[in-house]
Copies of this chain bind each other. A is one copy, B any other.
Amino acid sequence: MTQISAFADQLVAQRYRDPAPTPAPEWNPVLQVLHEHRSIRRYLADPVPDAILRLLVSAAQSAPTSSNLQAWSVIAVRDPERKARLATLAGDQDHIRQAPVLLVWTADLARLRALAAERGAPLDGADYLESSYVAFLDAALAAQNAATAAESLGLGTVYIGAIRNNPEQVAAELSLPPGVFAVVGLVVGTPDPSEDARVKPRLPQAAVLHEETYDTTGLGAHLAEYESRIAAFYAEQNLEHSWIDRVLTRLGSAAALKGRDRLRDQLAAQGFPLR
């Protein structure tokens, strides 16, 4: 038990690179898989068997969904040519080409709209901004369950937000009807052991966890601490990065959004009027 507990403490400490971490009071294989998450950006070509894919999707469908609307769908892309075209559309990320499968998680109001049309019932609520968030959140919870399931099976994953860089072309490639929008991609495959992917440290917990009310006490110190902890993480990979510079660049301008500054119009064109 002491040994397990020491291991747990080490895994939690690794997430923060905190020299004085809080001990983990309990531990189990689920906490371990969650804490050991790292994004994988180099894959072997080994296929993901159908039966495993179905298990990832049953895990995804086990996630909570707002009012049981289940306002999401997932497209499993394994055809190498389609996957390569999607890679090009999504920031030209080569790991999408390498890995055997790209799961495209979509917000899906089309299924519910079809039901309403069949019954001649109104579905005015679906036109609101709120319903787009509901569908995006549903898709995210499902995707995260699939990612956790995949990692529990020794598979690697990485999310692809850049699937939103070119929504019209992605919708055409995947034959998405109006009311279906590609929210995020998830690459799944066998990690290439040559990558040495590491657990990326996160902000000190005190910067994100607030007790009772939102509180910015000490925020400056937490951010400075993080800037130095993550610099050490990058240095291990012979990179000289500043987290602060990176986030300020990432959100610095409309151009830095790489096409996603047009998202409102693109969603409207895809059947999400966002009233």
Query: Which residues of A are interface residues toward B (Cβ below 8 A)?
Result: 12, 15-16, 22-26, 28-31, 33-37, 39, 49, 51-55, 57-59, 61-70, 72-79, 82, 106, 108, 111-112, 114-116, 118-119, 121-126, 128-131, 133-134, 136-137, 140-141, 143-145, 147-149, 151-153, 158-159, 161, 164, 173-177, 180, 183-184, 199-200, 202-203, 205, 207-216, 219-220, 223, 243-244, 246-248, 250-254, 256-257, 260-261, 263-264, 267, 274-275
Contact = CB atoms under 8 A, between A and B. Distances in A.
Contacts of A209: 53-54, 57, 73-74, 76
A125 to B, nearest CB: 4
Contact of A247 (B69, B106, B254): B69
Given A115-B223, A251-B131, A72 B208 contact: yes
Nearest to A78: B212
Q: Which 6 A-B pairs have the closest CB atoms?
A: A30-B152, A125-B251, A140-B140, A130-B260, A175-B213, A25-B51
Nearest to A119: B248
Given A37-B62, A125-B256, A205-B61, A73 B141 contact: no
Identical chains in the assembly: 2
B128 A260 contact: yes
A144 B65 CA distance: 11
Nearest to A77: B212
Nearest to A252: B122
A232 to B, nearest CB: 15
A243 B129 CA distance: 23
11 contacts: A34-B59, A34-B148, A65-B202, A76-B210, A121-B252, A123-B252, A124-B252, A128-B263, A133-B263, A137-B137, A141-B144
